[in-house]
């Protein structure tokens, strides 16, 4: 489904701010894999997701999504294959538009504008059902402006919008980090459900080791721009935070450090 072959990326090459962010990333995701991504500060987690999305060109290596070589393609050309949700709840939705308008926009992504804008009855019914599944009462607020929603409600809606066209790959970049723990847990639960119901392949960056262990079928750890651990199957199910910290030290020879890391 996703293949990253020897991906390298250096920012600000030849300047005092030169930073080798990706240092030969290799990763193969199977169809339906849900991989959680952890690592210390500046390990290259977000940069890996940005490389997949084509935010900028990589220096070398290749990126294949669903059998298509995306390496030279623009972010725009890759967009139909991808759904993305970021940390900031303000990021994925249009605050001054209604919930129903946001969903309709997401559903029409990639289509020519100028078509009739009205939302049909059957679309409305579909959106209502989708919203009801979130169990946040949003199905009764379809004409509310999104700016009135809480951060958690907004992230849940963003998740729906990012997956409404069933992307080949869903990229979640610390999408619950700005939420309080209870809301974060709820949005994570919804993420699990949406990924499972739609049989999506997904990558989720998190600084919370426990969430990385609980969610997904596979866990990778990054350090200094490389994947240094890849744990799946039964081994992942049995993992503890202590195991992870120990493995990190074994493989990297350093102590794990991330200002944001939640180990508990």
Q: Which residues bind ligand ATP (CB under 6 A)?
A: 11-12, 19, 21, 39, 41-47, 207, 258
Nearest CA-CA partner of 124 in 105, 100, 145, 143: 100
Q: How far is the CB of 72 from ligand ATP (least distance, A)?
A: 19
| Residue placing its CB nearer to ligand ATP in the complex, 51 or 106 | 51
Yes or no: say if 232 and 36 are a contact pair by the CB < 8 Å rule.
no
| Residue placing its CB nearer to ligand ATP in the complex, 2 or 51 | 51
Q: How far is the CB of 209 from ligand ATP (least distance, A)?
A: 12
Residues 9 and 57: their CA atoms lie apart, in Å, by 8
Q: SS3 for 117?
A: coil
Q: How far is the CB of 130 from ligand ATP (least distance, A)?
A: 30
Q: How far is the CB of 13 from ligand ATP (least distance, A)?
A: 10
Residues 185 and 20: their CA atoms lie apart, in Å, by 34
Residues 146 and 53: their CA atoms lie apart, in Å, by 26
Backbone phi and psi for residue 151, each to the nearest 5 degrees, phi listed first: -55, -40
| Residue placing its CB nearer to ligand ATP in the complex, 175 or 207 | 207
| Residue placing its CB nearer to ligand ATP in the complex, 142 or 245 | 245
């Amino acid at each position: 489904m996703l293949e990253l072959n020897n991906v390298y990326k250096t920012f600000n090459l030849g300047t005092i701010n030169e930073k080798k962010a990706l240092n030969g990333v290799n990763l193969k995701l199977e169809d339906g894999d849900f991989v959680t991504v952890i690592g210390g500060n500046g390990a290259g987690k977000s940069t890996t997701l940005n490389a997949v999305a084509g935010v900028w060109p990589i220096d070398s290596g290749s990126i294949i999504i669903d059998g298509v070589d995306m390496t030279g393609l623009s972010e725009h050309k890759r967009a139909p294959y991808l759904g993305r949700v970021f940390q900031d709840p303000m990021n994925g939705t249009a605050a001054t538009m209604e919930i129903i308008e946001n969903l309709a926009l997401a559903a029409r992504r990639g289509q020519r504008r100028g078509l009739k804008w009205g939302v049909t009855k059957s679309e409305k019914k579909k959106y209502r059902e989708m919203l009801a599944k979130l169990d946040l009462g949003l199905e009764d607020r379809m004409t509310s402006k999104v700016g009135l929603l809480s951060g958690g409600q907004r992230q849940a809606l963003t998740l729906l919008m990012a997956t409404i066209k069933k992307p080949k790959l869903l990229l979640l970049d610390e999408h619950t980090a700005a939420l309080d723990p209870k809301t974060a847990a709820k949005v994570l639960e919804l993420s699990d459900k949406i990924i499972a119901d739609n049989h999506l392949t997904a990558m989720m960056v998190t600084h919370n080791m426990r969430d990385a262990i609980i969610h997904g079928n596979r866990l990778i750890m990054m350090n200094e721009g490389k994947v240094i651990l890849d744990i799946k199957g039964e081994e992942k199910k049995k993992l503890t935070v202590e195991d992870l910290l120990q493995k990190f030290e074994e493989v990297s020879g350093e102590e794990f450090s991330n200002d944001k890391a939640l180990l508990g």
